[in-house]
Structure 1
Amino acid sequence: MVAGTVTIETESEVAPKRLWNALVKDHELIAREIPELCAGVTFLEGNGGVGSIKQINFTPGSTEFSYVKERVDVVDEEKLIYSYTDIEGGELGKNLASAQFTLKLSPKAGGGSVVSHICNFDTLPGVPQEEAKLEAMKAQLTALFKKMEAYVIANPSLYNA
Protein backbone atom coordinates (compact mmCIF):
# COMPACT_ATOMS: atom_id res chain seq x y z
CA MET A 1 0.00 0.00 0.00
CA VAL A 2 1.29 3.44 -0.95
CA ALA A 3 -0.02 6.64 0.64
CA GLY A 4 0.01 9.71 -1.53
CA THR A 5 -1.19 13.24 -1.97
CA VAL A 6 -1.99 15.07 -5.18
CA THR A 7 -2.39 18.84 -5.05
CA ILE A 8 -3.71 20.93 -7.90
CA GLU A 9 -3.56 24.69 -7.52
CA THR A 10 -5.21 26.86 -10.15
CA GLU A 11 -5.82 30.58 -10.38
CA SER A 12 -9.16 31.96 -11.49
CA GLU A 13 -10.45 35.43 -12.31
CA VAL A 14 -13.71 34.52 -10.54
CA ALA A 15 -14.20 35.65 -6.91
CA PRO A 16 -13.97 32.85 -4.33
CA LYS A 17 -17.60 33.12 -3.15
CA ARG A 18 -18.96 32.89 -6.71
CA LEU A 19 -16.85 29.79 -7.35
CA TRP A 20 -18.07 28.35 -4.03
CA ASN A 21 -21.68 28.92 -5.03
CA ALA A 22 -21.09 27.26 -8.41
CA LEU A 23 -18.80 24.36 -7.50
CA VAL A 24 -20.16 23.44 -4.06
CA LYS A 25 -23.78 24.59 -3.98
CA ASP A 26 -24.86 23.88 -7.59
CA HIS A 27 -24.80 20.10 -7.44
CA GLU A 28 -25.96 19.76 -11.05
CA LEU A 29 -23.35 22.08 -12.60
CA ILE A 30 -21.04 19.25 -13.66
CA ALA A 31 -23.86 17.25 -15.27
CA ARG A 32 -25.24 20.33 -17.02
CA GLU A 33 -21.93 21.67 -18.31
CA ILE A 34 -20.02 18.44 -18.92
CA PRO A 35 -22.73 16.02 -20.11
CA GLU A 36 -20.19 14.00 -22.08
CA LEU A 37 -18.72 12.93 -18.71
CA CYS A 38 -21.44 13.17 -16.08
CA ALA A 39 -24.92 11.69 -16.47
CA GLY A 40 -26.19 13.16 -13.20
CA VAL A 41 -25.82 13.62 -9.47
CA THR A 42 -28.21 12.05 -6.96
CA PHE A 43 -28.34 12.58 -3.21
CA LEU A 44 -28.84 9.25 -1.50
CA GLU A 45 -28.79 10.86 1.96
CA GLY A 46 -29.01 14.52 2.96
CA ASN A 47 -29.02 17.58 0.74
CA GLY A 48 -25.37 18.56 0.47
CA GLY A 49 -24.49 19.27 4.09
CA VAL A 50 -22.03 17.36 6.28
CA GLY A 51 -22.89 13.66 6.30
CA SER A 52 -24.72 13.76 2.97
CA ILE A 53 -24.07 10.92 0.54
CA LYS A 54 -24.19 11.70 -3.15
CA GLN A 55 -23.71 9.51 -6.17
CA ILE A 56 -22.17 10.88 -9.33
CA ASN A 57 -23.10 8.81 -12.38
CA PHE A 58 -20.79 8.88 -15.38
CA THR A 59 -21.72 8.38 -19.00
CA PRO A 60 -20.90 5.04 -20.65
CA GLY A 61 -17.41 5.05 -22.08
CA SER A 62 -16.37 8.30 -20.40
CA THR A 63 -14.31 6.72 -17.62
CA GLU A 64 -13.16 3.34 -16.38
CA PHE A 65 -16.08 3.28 -13.93
CA SER A 66 -19.77 4.10 -13.99
CA TYR A 67 -20.26 5.94 -10.69
CA VAL A 68 -18.71 7.12 -7.46
CA LYS A 69 -20.39 7.66 -4.09
CA GLU A 70 -19.08 10.51 -1.93
CA ARG A 71 -19.69 11.37 1.71
CA VAL A 72 -19.55 15.09 2.53
CA ASP A 73 -17.17 15.61 5.48
CA VAL A 74 -16.73 19.40 5.73
CA VAL A 75 -18.73 22.36 4.41
CA ASP A 76 -17.11 25.51 5.82
CA GLU A 77 -18.77 28.52 4.16
CA GLU A 78 -16.67 30.99 6.14
CA LYS A 79 -13.29 29.53 5.15
CA LEU A 80 -14.60 28.21 1.80
CA ILE A 81 -13.43 24.65 2.42
CA TYR A 82 -15.33 21.61 1.13
CA SER A 83 -14.13 18.11 1.91
CA TYR A 84 -15.47 14.70 0.91
CA THR A 85 -14.50 11.04 0.94
CA ASP A 86 -15.12 8.48 -1.78
CA ILE A 87 -16.98 5.59 -0.14
CA GLU A 88 -17.85 3.38 -3.11
CA GLY A 89 -17.22 3.09 -6.83
CA GLY A 90 -14.68 5.00 -8.82
CA GLU A 91 -11.14 3.78 -8.25
CA LEU A 92 -12.00 2.25 -4.86
CA GLY A 93 -11.35 -1.47 -4.89
CA LYS A 94 -9.59 -1.27 -8.25
CA ASN A 95 -6.49 0.78 -7.49
CA LEU A 96 -7.32 2.66 -4.30
CA ALA A 97 -8.13 1.60 -0.75
CA SER A 98 -9.22 5.12 0.17
CA ALA A 99 -9.52 8.63 -1.30
CA GLN A 100 -10.31 11.89 0.49
CA PHE A 101 -10.60 15.24 -1.29
CA THR A 102 -10.51 18.87 -0.13
CA LEU A 103 -11.43 21.93 -2.17
CA LYS A 104 -10.24 25.26 -0.79
CA LEU A 105 -10.98 28.64 -2.36
CA SER A 106 -8.89 31.66 -1.37
CA PRO A 107 -8.81 35.27 -2.56
CA LYS A 108 -6.00 36.08 -4.97
CA ALA A 109 -4.11 39.37 -4.68
CA GLY A 110 -5.57 41.75 -7.24
CA GLY A 111 -8.87 39.86 -7.47
CA GLY A 112 -10.04 36.41 -8.37
CA SER A 113 -9.25 33.17 -6.60
CA VAL A 114 -6.68 30.55 -5.88
CA VAL A 115 -8.34 27.14 -6.13
CA SER A 116 -6.65 24.28 -4.28
CA HIS A 117 -7.87 20.73 -4.84
CA ILE A 118 -6.11 18.17 -2.67
CA CYS A 119 -6.51 14.40 -2.86
CA ASN A 120 -5.10 12.14 -0.13
CA PHE A 121 -5.19 8.47 -1.07
CA ASP A 122 -3.95 5.00 -0.22
CA THR A 123 -3.39 2.51 -3.02
CA LEU A 124 -4.38 -1.11 -2.63
CA PRO A 125 -1.57 -3.47 -1.62
CA GLY A 126 0.68 -4.18 -4.60
CA VAL A 127 -0.59 -1.22 -6.63
CA PRO A 128 2.28 1.19 -7.33
CA GLN A 129 1.89 4.95 -7.41
CA GLU A 130 2.34 5.84 -11.07
CA GLU A 131 3.44 9.42 -11.75
CA ALA A 132 2.12 9.35 -15.31
CA LYS A 133 -1.39 8.46 -14.07
CA LEU A 134 -1.22 11.17 -11.41
CA GLU A 135 -0.20 13.78 -13.97
CA ALA A 136 -3.01 12.68 -16.31
CA MET A 137 -5.50 12.96 -13.43
CA LYS A 138 -4.25 16.47 -12.63
CA ALA A 139 -4.64 17.53 -16.26
CA GLN A 140 -8.16 16.07 -16.46
CA LEU A 141 -9.31 17.72 -13.22
CA THR A 142 -7.85 21.06 -14.31
CA ALA A 143 -9.63 20.80 -17.68
CA LEU A 144 -12.94 19.99 -15.95
CA PHE A 145 -12.53 22.95 -13.61
CA LYS A 146 -11.74 25.27 -16.53
CA LYS A 147 -14.95 24.20 -18.30
CA MET A 148 -17.05 24.97 -15.23
CA GLU A 149 -15.16 28.22 -14.62
CA ALA A 150 -15.86 29.28 -18.23
CA TYR A 151 -19.58 28.78 -17.60
CA VAL A 152 -19.43 30.95 -14.47
CA ILE A 153 -17.52 33.68 -16.35
CA ALA A 154 -19.97 33.54 -19.27
CA ASN A 155 -22.91 33.96 -16.85
CA PRO A 156 -21.99 36.92 -14.65
CA SER A 157 -25.48 37.20 -13.14
CA LEU A 158 -25.29 33.68 -11.67
CA TYR A 159 -23.84 32.57 -8.33
CA ASN A 160 -23.66 36.02 -6.76
CA ALA A 161 -25.94 35.35 -3.77
Structure 2
Amino acid sequence: MLQRLQHAFLGVACVALLFGIPGCSPTDTKRMQALLDQISHGPEDQLGTFIYGYSDASPGAQQVLLGMIRPLRAPSADKHMTNEASRSAGRFTMLSVGVPWSQPTQGYGFQASFQPIIICHDGGRDSVVGYVLPFNDIMFHFHGADMENIMQLSQWWIQTYGKR
Protein backbone atom coordinates (compact mmCIF):
# COMPACT_ATOMS: atom_id res chain seq x y z
CA MET A 1 0.00 0.00 0.00
CA LEU A 2 2.75 2.44 0.96
CA GLN A 3 4.66 1.66 -2.22
CA ARG A 4 1.55 2.36 -4.35
CA LEU A 5 1.09 5.69 -2.57
CA GLN A 6 4.73 6.61 -3.18
CA HIS A 7 4.36 5.71 -6.88
CA ALA A 8 1.25 7.86 -7.17
CA PHE A 9 2.96 10.80 -5.46
CA LEU A 10 6.02 10.45 -7.70
CA GLY A 11 3.75 10.44 -10.77
CA VAL A 12 2.03 13.65 -9.66
CA ALA A 13 5.40 15.30 -8.97
CA CYS A 14 6.70 14.36 -12.43
CA VAL A 15 3.59 15.78 -14.10
CA ALA A 16 4.00 19.02 -12.11
CA LEU A 17 7.61 19.31 -13.27
CA LEU A 18 6.65 18.70 -16.88
CA PHE A 19 3.99 21.41 -16.85
CA GLY A 20 6.02 24.18 -15.27
CA ILE A 21 6.60 25.83 -11.97
CA PRO A 22 4.29 24.58 -9.21
CA GLY A 23 1.58 27.12 -8.39
CA CYS A 24 1.57 28.66 -11.88
CA SER A 25 -1.16 27.91 -14.38
CA PRO A 26 -2.24 29.12 -17.82
CA THR A 27 -4.73 32.01 -17.89
CA ASP A 28 -7.63 33.52 -19.88
CA THR A 29 -5.96 34.85 -23.04
CA LYS A 30 -8.98 36.66 -24.53
CA ARG A 31 -9.42 38.88 -21.48
CA MET A 32 -5.69 39.61 -21.35
CA GLN A 33 -5.59 40.43 -25.08
CA ALA A 34 -8.45 42.89 -24.58
CA LEU A 35 -6.46 44.61 -21.81
CA LEU A 36 -3.37 44.82 -24.04
CA ASP A 37 -5.46 46.39 -26.80
CA GLN A 38 -6.86 48.97 -24.38
CA ILE A 39 -3.37 49.88 -23.15
CA SER A 40 -1.84 50.13 -26.61
CA HIS A 41 -4.70 51.88 -28.42
CA GLY A 42 -7.04 53.36 -25.80
CA PRO A 43 -7.19 57.07 -24.92
CA GLU A 44 -3.89 58.42 -23.57
CA ASP A 45 -5.64 60.15 -20.67
CA GLN A 46 -6.90 56.77 -19.38
CA LEU A 47 -3.46 55.13 -19.08
CA GLY A 48 -3.39 55.64 -15.31
CA THR A 49 -6.54 53.55 -14.93
CA PHE A 50 -4.60 50.50 -16.12
CA ILE A 51 -1.89 50.80 -13.42
CA TYR A 52 -2.38 49.17 -10.03
CA GLY A 53 -2.31 51.74 -7.21
CA TYR A 54 -2.07 54.72 -9.57
CA SER A 55 -4.80 56.75 -7.86
CA ASP A 56 -3.08 56.30 -4.47
CA ALA A 57 0.32 57.44 -5.75
CA SER A 58 1.75 60.93 -5.33
CA PRO A 59 1.73 63.20 -8.41
CA GLY A 60 5.46 62.55 -8.90
CA ALA A 61 5.00 58.78 -8.62
CA GLN A 62 2.08 58.97 -11.05
CA GLN A 63 4.36 60.55 -13.64
CA VAL A 64 6.94 57.79 -13.11
CA LEU A 65 4.26 55.10 -13.45
CA LEU A 66 2.89 56.66 -16.63
CA GLY A 67 6.45 56.80 -17.98
CA MET A 68 6.80 53.07 -17.30
CA ILE A 69 3.63 52.12 -19.17
CA ARG A 70 3.90 54.55 -22.12
CA PRO A 71 6.32 52.29 -24.04
CA LEU A 72 3.40 49.87 -24.38
CA ARG A 73 1.51 52.43 -26.47
CA ALA A 74 1.40 51.52 -30.14
CA PRO A 75 3.20 53.99 -32.43
CA SER A 76 0.48 53.48 -35.07
CA ALA A 77 -2.99 51.98 -35.39
CA ASP A 78 -1.72 49.01 -37.41
CA LYS A 79 0.68 47.76 -34.69
CA HIS A 80 -0.66 45.47 -31.96
CA MET A 81 0.76 43.67 -28.94
CA THR A 82 0.06 39.94 -28.82
CA ASN A 83 -0.23 37.75 -25.76
CA GLU A 84 2.22 34.96 -26.65
CA ALA A 85 2.11 33.07 -23.34
CA SER A 86 0.90 33.54 -19.79
CA ARG A 87 0.89 31.99 -16.35
CA SER A 88 -1.23 32.77 -13.32
CA ALA A 89 -0.54 32.45 -9.60
CA GLY A 90 -2.95 33.74 -6.99
CA ARG A 91 -4.42 37.03 -8.15
CA PHE A 92 -1.56 37.70 -10.60
CA THR A 93 -0.85 36.84 -14.21
CA MET A 94 2.49 37.16 -15.99
CA LEU A 95 2.07 37.82 -19.69
CA SER A 96 4.81 37.29 -22.23
CA VAL A 97 3.83 39.83 -24.84
CA GLY A 98 5.03 40.20 -28.39
CA VAL A 99 5.59 43.92 -28.96
CA PRO A 100 6.48 44.90 -32.54
CA TRP A 101 8.14 48.19 -31.45
CA SER A 102 10.89 49.21 -29.03
CA GLN A 103 10.15 48.06 -25.46
CA PRO A 104 11.36 48.59 -21.87
CA THR A 105 13.30 45.33 -21.41
CA GLN A 106 15.47 45.72 -24.51
CA GLY A 107 19.12 45.73 -23.54
CA TYR A 108 18.53 44.21 -20.08
CA GLY A 109 19.49 40.63 -20.95
CA PHE A 110 16.09 39.44 -22.15
CA GLN A 111 14.99 38.23 -25.55
CA ALA A 112 13.98 41.50 -27.17
CA SER A 113 10.88 40.13 -28.85
CA PHE A 114 8.96 39.43 -25.61
CA GLN A 115 7.90 41.92 -22.94
CA PRO A 116 6.97 40.61 -19.48
CA ILE A 117 3.89 42.28 -18.00
CA ILE A 118 2.53 41.45 -14.54
CA ILE A 119 -1.23 41.89 -14.18
CA CYS A 120 -3.17 41.96 -10.88
CA HIS A 121 -6.79 40.79 -10.79
CA ASP A 122 -8.36 42.80 -7.96
CA GLY A 123 -11.98 43.75 -7.37
CA GLY A 124 -13.08 42.63 -10.83
CA ARG A 125 -10.40 44.75 -12.55
CA ASP A 126 -7.14 43.87 -14.26
CA SER A 127 -4.27 46.31 -13.70
CA VAL A 128 -0.60 46.42 -14.67
CA VAL A 129 1.70 45.87 -11.69
CA GLY A 130 5.07 45.90 -13.43
CA TYR A 131 7.30 44.08 -15.82
CA VAL A 132 9.54 41.32 -14.41
CA LEU A 133 8.86 42.70 -10.90
CA PRO A 134 6.36 45.27 -9.59
CA PHE A 135 7.11 48.92 -10.32
CA ASN A 136 9.05 50.45 -7.40
CA ASP A 137 6.36 53.07 -6.71
CA ILE A 138 3.70 50.43 -6.01
CA MET A 139 5.77 47.53 -4.65
CA PHE A 140 4.78 48.37 -1.06
CA HIS A 141 1.23 47.18 -1.85
CA PHE A 142 2.38 43.54 -2.07
CA HIS A 143 3.41 41.30 0.85
CA GLY A 144 3.41 37.65 1.86
CA ALA A 145 1.50 35.37 -0.52
CA ASP A 146 1.20 38.16 -3.10
CA MET A 147 4.99 38.53 -3.32
CA GLU A 148 5.43 34.75 -3.39
CA ASN A 149 3.05 34.52 -6.35
CA ILE A 150 4.75 37.41 -8.14
CA MET A 151 8.16 35.78 -7.60
CA GLN A 152 6.91 32.45 -8.98
CA LEU A 153 5.70 34.20 -12.11
CA SER A 154 8.91 36.22 -12.46
CA GLN A 155 10.94 33.04 -12.12
CA TRP A 156 8.82 31.35 -14.82
CA TRP A 157 9.33 34.27 -17.20
CA ILE A 158 13.08 34.56 -16.61
CA GLN A 159 13.60 30.80 -17.00
CA THR A 160 11.56 30.75 -20.19
CA TYR A 161 12.64 34.00 -21.87
CA GLY A 162 15.90 35.11 -20.24
CA LYS A 163 19.00 34.82 -22.40
CA ARG A 164 21.02 31.71 -21.74
**TM-score of the superposed pair, with normalisation by structure 1:** 0.29
| Higher RCO (Cα < 8 Å, 6 or more apart) | 1
More helix by percentage? 2
More strand by percentage? 1
